[in-house]
Structure 1
């Protein structure tokens, strides 16, 4: 039996303006564009995903 996708959009995404990604809680490091749920997924290593989350939470990506 395969893993069931568990897509989630951040509560900080700011609404329905279409500029959001969703993360798959069943597969950490897997993201997709919320406007295209059947489109491609990006998959990051655990280290790369943690570095991204850390940078984002520390404001290092603001205005990027």
Structure 2
């Protein structure tokens, strides 16, 4: 996989929006939301960099 998400502002804003949009997400520890969000962003970025589309494994996360 390519390097981790390079713009911390994108990660933090995505986490903020996810927590504000969902009570279930907001109930999770912030660091867990950040970790899972980073996995998704990194996976999508890597797939798009390779000219493809993110697959189910990226979108479902780990």
The verdict on a shared fold, with TM-score over 0.5 as the criterion, is: no
TM-score normalised by length of structure 1: 0.33
Give the number of the structure whose alpha-carbon radius of gyration is greater: 1
Which structure features the higher share of strand residues? 1
TM-score normalised by length of structure 2: 0.34
Q: Answer 1 or 2: higher relative contact order, Cα 8 Å, separation at least 6.
A: 2
Which structure features the higher share of helix residues? 2
